[in-house]
Amino acid sequence: KAGVTQTPRYLIKTRGQQVTLSCSPISGHRSVSWYQQTPGQGLQFLFEYFSETQRNKGNFPGRFSGRQFSNSRSEMNVSTLELGDSALYLCASSLPSGRVDEQFFGPGTRLTVL
């Protein structure tokens, strides 16, 4: 079974631009979560989508947004990029079993903002 895939793997943008990252979950997984990983702040939860609806949200500004499509694929968007948005963005998927299940992570998208 294929794992979680994220595209692109690397991205370089300049301040003020916007960016869209994509995540394809494991087949059959309907929950997709996004995390930001930086050396200073560590791993921080951005948001979770389930059945095309945002189910949970972390403490990030409104410049960070996401969506989920009917095939469970998800995208996250960051508008008006700032230098501090440089990070590894990780996507994770899990089953909707009704219990708390482990999340399976993709390799991440490394975003560099210049």
Tokens representing residue 86 in the block: 């440089």
56 binds another protein (CB under 8 A): yes
13 binds another protein (CB under 8 A): no
107 binds another protein (CB under 8 A): yes
98 binds another protein (CB under 8 A): no
33 binds another protein (CB under 8 A): yes
**CB distance 94 to 102 below 8 Å:** yes
SS3 at position 26: coil
Q: Of the candidates 24, 66, 103, 111, which one interacts with another protein according to CB under 8 A?
A: 103
25 binds another protein (CB under 8 A): no
**CB distance 45 to 55 below 8 Å:** no
Residues that bind another protein (CB under 8 A): 4, 31, 33, 35, 42-45, 48, 55-56, 58, 90, 92, 94, 99-100, 102-108
